[in-house]
Structure 1
Amino acid sequence: MSPTGKIKAVLVEDEAAAMAALQSYIQKFCPQVQICGTAQNSREAISVLHEIQPELVFLDVEMPFGNAFDVLDACQDLQFETIFVTAFSEYSLKALNQSAAYYLLKPVSIEELILAVTKVQQQLQQQRLFNRNQIIVANARETKPEKQQVILPTLDGFDVVKMEEIVRLKGNGNFTDVFLADGRKKMVCRFLKHFTEILPHPFLRVHKSHVINIHFVKSYHKGTGGYLTLQDGTEVEVSAAYKDQLLEAFR
């Protein structure tokens, strides 16, 4: 996926007007798709697809220097879903129907575009669920908890990170903000309580709104509860109710 969490897509179309119309429709009616590149012929398409490695390609069937099937033949090392875009052609439609492919007839119908993108999105989500099973198996085989991976459900899908990459978590209403060692922040669709139940040592709840990875603690400052300074300079309040538990962890 793209950094925004959207479906990375490339448009391959040799007619400028058709390209402009398709871009406009996607941007307006398919917000889950991010157009990351375009190409106007098969040679250019092969190069762009290998450079961007998209999840979805809108692929014109007939174009200069070859056709859609030549492009797919040259990109067998890549994995992406394809929505073919074609003017009526008995040959192309027969081939596409036999393969149960997604395709759009020119001029493109907005309703058919939305339907095709929705089907592709569902297919991609199923593939990601399969990856979830791979994560479960990998975690079962990993003996060091900090090396295990955790799935973070977000508004756009989900991210997978190793537990050792998580610095701290902060409750944010119905969500949890997860702060990572590389400076990124993820807003996750789970209550903080969810993570207190699934994250093992070295994660420790120090406040009703804060869970920290004790490996990132730089110093503790006394007080009624006191506060922690983390390695990135962040200060995290410690509530009196969790103070003893925190001090015990460092004994």
Structure 2
Amino acid sequence: MLQKIRSVIVEDESAAREALKSYLAKYCPQIEVVGEAHNSKEAISILHELQPQLVFLDVEMPFGNAFDVLDECKDLYFETIFVTAFSEYSLRALNQSAAYYLLKPLSIEELILAVNKVQKHIINNEIFNRNKIIVENFREPKPEKQQVILPTLEGFEVIKMENIIRLQGNGNFTDIYLSDKSKKMVCRFLKHFTEILPHPFIRVHKSHIINIHFVKSYHKGSGGYVVLDDNTEIEISPSYKDEFLQVFK
């Protein structure tokens, strides 16, 4: 028989807590809820006491947010499924860290999907401290100094954003070219990175996103093209040209 996943729910709204518990009981029988916390202070002590394998963590709470909880629990290892009311900032942070998150109001399908992914990690013993990177990113005010977790065919890689020169769409994948001349093939569409990468990244073509810090020169034309520090020439689509030139004004 499959071992249950010991889990804690951290959520300040009692109705939301009860709803999540009843969904888990009904649709995710592999989850055993061993504890609950109503705010970040309670969460920190309960997580140290119970040391669960999985935490359902509300992003915004009284007395601090999810990132404060993770910071205080960085000596613990657990998988996290964030639960959040939509906020562009927190979603970008979670996407950059390849975290699992559920939007309120909860979708049962999304909940089952997230729990199944976490279960797979736990069964395969894929120990990967995503929480540490989420906290580091949250504490780093300069976006280009933050890290992004890239899902590759072999697993995950953690890359500093400032080391990415450019990204190129490649069917269902994205090729990422780095300043050390290496290339990573990532299991995500290019559109995913348009949504999660902050300035200095800019889309210049349906197949290309570039880091403007690596632009060496720009050559005019209907859209024109740029030459990057690694001597790659990247065409600029006419539809992206104005946005590109705006950055350099």
Structure showing greater Rg:
1
2:146 aligned with 1:148, yes or no?
A: yes
Match of 1:198?
A: 196
Partner of 2:124, secondary structure, is: helix
Moved over 6 A (4+): 118-121
Structure 1 residues 17-32: aligned runs within 5 Å: none
Superposed displacement of residue 122, structure 1: 1.3
CA distance in 2 between counterparts of 1:236 and 1:180 reads 15
Q: Structure 2: which 5+ runs fail to align?
A: 1-119
CA distance in 1 between counterparts of 2:122 and 2:245 reads 51
Superposed displacement of residue 210, structure 1: 0.1
CA distance in 1 between counterparts of 2:153 and 2:121 reads 19
Partner of 2:141, secondary structure, is: coil
Partner of 1:140, secondary structure, is: helix
How has the CA–CA distance of structure 1 residues 211 and 119 changed in structure 2, closer, same or farther, with 3 Å as cutoff? Answer: closer
Superposed displacement of residue 120, structure 1: 9.9
Partner of 2:167, secondary structure, is: strand
How has the CA–CA distance of structure 1 residues 133 and 222 changed in structure 2, closer, same or farther, with 3 Å as cutoff? Answer: same
Match of 2:166?
A: 168
Q: Give 2:136's aligned amino acid.
A: A
The C-alpha deviation readout for 1:62-90, integer Å capped at 9, x for no partner, is xxxxxxxxxxxxxxxxxxxxxxxxxxxxx
How has the CA–CA distance of structure 1 residues 179 and 249 changed in structure 2, closer, same or farther, with 3 Å as cutoff? Answer: same
How has the CA–CA distance of structure 1 residues 119 and 197 changed in structure 2, closer, same or farther, with 3 Å as cutoff? Answer: closer
Match of 2:215?
A: 217
The C-alpha deviation readout for 1:38-58, integer Å capped at 9, x for no partner, is xxxxxxxxxxxxxxxxxxxxx
What is the number of residues matched between the two proteins?
130
Superposed displacement of residue 119, structure 1: 10
Partner of 1:243, secondary structure, is: helix
Q: Structure 1: which 5+ runs fail to align?
A: 1-117
CA distance in 1 between counterparts of 2:235 and 2:136 reads 35
Superposed displacement of residue 180, structure 1: 0.3
Match of 2:177?
A: 179
Structure 1 residues 1-251: aligned runs within 5 Å: 122-123=124-125, 125=126, 127-128=127-128, 131-251=129-249
CA distance in 2 between counterparts of 1:238 and 1:184 reads 23
The C-alpha deviation readout for 1:209-249, integer Å capped at 9, x for no partner, is 00000000000000000100001100001000000000000
The C-alpha deviation readout for 1:4-27, integer Å capped at 9, x for no partner, is xxxxxxxxxxxxxxxxxxxxxxxx
Q: Give 1:136's aligned amino acid.
A: I
Partner of 1:248, secondary structure, is: helix
CA distance in 1 between counterparts of 2:123 and 2:145 reads 30
How has the CA–CA distance of structure 1 residues 183 and 121 changed in structure 2, closer, same or farther, with 3 Å as cutoff? Answer: farther
CA distance in 1 between counterparts of 2:154 and 2:181 reads 20
Give the TM-score taking structure 2 as reference length. 0.51
Q: Give 1:172's aligned amino acid.
A: N
> What CA RMSD, in Å, does the superposition of the two structures yield over aligned residues?
1.7
Give the TM-score taking structure 1 as reference length. 0.50
CA distance in 2 between counterparts of 1:121 and 1:226 reads 51
Superposed displacement of residue 121, structure 1: 8.2
How has the CA–CA distance of structure 1 residues 138 and 119 changed in structure 2, closer, same or farther, with 3 Å as cutoff? Answer: closer
Q: Give 1:151's aligned amino acid.
A: I
Q: Give 1:244's aligned amino acid.
A: D
CA distance in 1 between counterparts of 2:184 and 2:205 reads 20
Q: Give 1:210's aligned amino acid.
A: H
